[in-house]
Each structure stands twice: as structure tokens, then as C-alpha cells.
């Protein structure tokens, strides 16, 4: 019997459309056995106007019934709902997801309320860096299908944590492609011709033919966006190095640029699991 997945879905109650929950329901139909769902209702003050005059910060029992209970009941899924009023949005998600034993976190890929040169508020970036399972960033207008999965790796890097990260990215991408019956592709960008990625290693680790292996010169975000568009990818799997101590406060500029450059769902994994 396959291992039961436990999907942790973050819901923003100020929105009328819950794209992360919609994606979780679609994904659940393809899983055997059916996953267990935890719907985590919380508000990130970095992305939501909490002024008392904002009508969207008030929700009644009918909203919960229509937006959460009904679709989960109709899908026949085992689920639980948790509501958090912590002002530590990222911390509360991490604690609850760990307690639930989440195997993936699904969250809407929203943008900060205030203008910023970063696509994400710091709280969301901390979640991506420190999560103990993959985080799926769901786009509002992303296609529900999963016909093409693209995994982005860095095989010219020699550090052990990057090698672990490559392995995690490939495993997650292959599992996604297998679950959805999707076509699987791998992309590896490079800048320096002296550090050209070894196609032989890529083929050995992926089992893919040359048609599905893309080694392209250029900046990582531009290459991934270009290849994703070329093959009409429905989801992109990328990695970010899990960090501890002082380095954990550094934002992963490459990963963030990639997320900003593509307009499809993005699965973020790290080297810590």
C-alpha cells in the first residue's frame, strides 16, 4: 500500500477564492490512498489589510461551510480545520504543519501588500527556507492540469548540500510526473562554459533522453522561464538550500527570481529533508 500523504493547505480567509485548496482537491483525486487534509486558516499581516473597515476580514459560519467544509465533504476526504490568530504567521504554519506531520504544504503565491523589490514578504520567504517538507506555491490563474513537469537542477555545483538538493528536486519532480502521468523534463542553466553541466551525469540520474534534458547557457531564472514556456510546463520544481544560524536570514535571490519569472505553480524543496 502506498504511503498516505498529509496535505497542509494554508487558507487566507480574506479571499473569496481559495486556489490552494482547489489545487489540493484536484491533487487528492489522483492519490491512492486518499490524503488527509489539514486546512490552516490564518492571516498574514504583511499581505492583508487588517483595518477594521475592510469587510473581508469578517467571516461567518456560512463562509466556512461554502468555502471549506462543503468541497472537502463532497470530495470524501478526511480533514481537519485549524484557525490561528497568532501574529507570527510563518511560525504558526511551521508549528502546526509539523504537528500534523505534513508531507507537503500548499499555499497561494500572493504578493506583499506594500510595494517591494521582493516578490514575497519576509514571512513567506522564511517559510520556503525553513519548511520541513515541499511547499507548493499555487498561482491564481495556473492551469489545473499536470501534463508537463519541469525540474530545475544545478549539476555543475560540487558542494554536498547542492548534490542533496539536486536529488530532492529530481525525486519530487519524478513523483509528481508519475502521479499525474505527466511528461518529465529537467533543465540545468549555466553561465561559465568551463563549468558546463555533464549531460552524462544528468542522463544517469534522471534516466531521461536528450529531448527531455535541457542544458542552456544563461541566467537561471531566464533559462527556466524560457524552457518552461517552450515545453508548456504546468509546474516547475526548484530548490533552495535550507540554512541555519546567521545565514538563514539571507534571501535566496535566485530562487525568488525564478518564482517571479514563471507564471505556473512552483514546488519549492530544500536540502534539509
pLDDT digit string (tens) for 93-116?
999 999 999 999 999 987 654 544
Give the Cα separation of 45 and 51 in Å (integer). Answer: 10
pLDDT tens digit string along 167-206? 999 999 999 999 889 999 999 999 988 888 888 889 898 9
Under the banding of pLDDT at 50, 70 and 90, the label for residue 123 is confident
pTM equals 0.91
Give the Cα separation of 98 and 127 in Å (integer). Answer: 12
Catalogue all structural domains in the chain, each as residue range(s) with its CATH number: 6-138 (3.40.50.620), 148-270 (3.40.50.12370)
Of 147, 149, 162, nearest to 227 by C-alpha is: 149
pLDDT tens digit string along 127-160? 888 899 999 999 998 887 889 999 999 999 888 9
Alpha helices in the chain (DSSP H): 19-28, 61-64, 70-74, 89-100, 122-130, 160-180, 199-206, 220-231, 253-261
What would the grid cell of residue 167 be? Answer: 536529488
pLDDT tens digit string along 29-84? 989 899 999 999 999 887 888 899 999 999 999 999 999 999 999 999 999 999 99
Look at residue 241 and tell me whether its pLDDT is greater than 60.
yes
Dihedral-angle region of residue 211 (phi above 0 means left; psi in -120 to 50 means alpha; beta otherwise):
alpha
User: Which positions ≥6 away from 241 have C-beta within 8 Å?
Assistant: 161, 162, 165, 252, 270, 271
Amino acid at each position: 500500500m502506498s504511503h498516505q500523504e498529509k496535505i497542509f493547505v494554508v487558507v487566507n480567509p480574506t479571499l473569496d477564492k481559495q486556489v490552494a485548496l482547489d489545487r489540493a482537491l484536484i491533487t487528492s483525486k489522483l492519490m491512492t490512498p486518499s490524503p488527509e487534509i489539514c486546512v490552516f486558516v490564518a492571516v498574514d499581516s504583511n499581505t492583508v489589510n487588517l483595518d477594521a473597515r475592510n469587510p473581508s476580514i469578517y467571516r461567518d459560519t456560512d463562509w466556512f461551510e461554502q468555502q471549506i467544509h462543503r468541497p472537502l465533504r463532497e470530495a470524501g476526504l478526511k480533514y481537519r480545520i485549524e484557525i490561528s490568530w497568532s501574529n507570527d504567521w510563518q511560525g504558526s504554519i511551521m508549528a502546526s504543519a509539523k504537528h500534523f506531520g505534513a508531507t507537503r504544504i500548499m499555499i497561494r503565491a500572493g504578493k506583499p501588500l506594500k510595494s517591494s523589490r521582493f516578490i514575497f514578504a519576509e514571512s513567506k520567504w522564511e517559510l520556503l527556507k525553513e519548511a520541513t517538507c515541499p511547499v507548493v506555491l499555487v498561482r491564481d490563474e495556473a492551469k489545473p492540469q499536470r501534463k508537463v513537469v519541469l525540474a530545475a537542477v544545478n549539476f555543475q555545483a560540487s558542494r554536498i548540500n547542492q548534490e542533496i538538493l539536486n536529488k530532492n528536486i529530481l525525486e519530487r519532480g519524478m513523483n509528481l510526473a508519475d502521479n499525474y502521468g505527466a511528461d518529465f523534463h529537467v533543465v540545468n542553466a549555466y553561465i561559465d562554459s568551463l563549468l558546463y553541466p555533464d549531460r552524462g551525469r544528468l542522463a544517469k540520474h534522471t534516466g531521461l533522453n536528450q529531448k527531455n534534458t535541457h542544458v542552456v547557457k544563461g541566467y537561471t531564472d531566464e533559462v527556466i522561464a524560457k524552457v518552461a514556456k517552450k515545453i508548456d510546463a504546468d509546474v516547475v520544481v526548484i530548490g533552495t538550500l535550507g540554512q541555519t544560524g546567521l545565514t538563514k536570514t539571507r534571501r535566496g535571490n535566485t530562487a525568488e527570481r525564478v518564482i517571479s519569472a514563471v507564471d505556473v505553480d512552483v514546488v519549492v524543496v530544500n536540502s534539509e529533508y
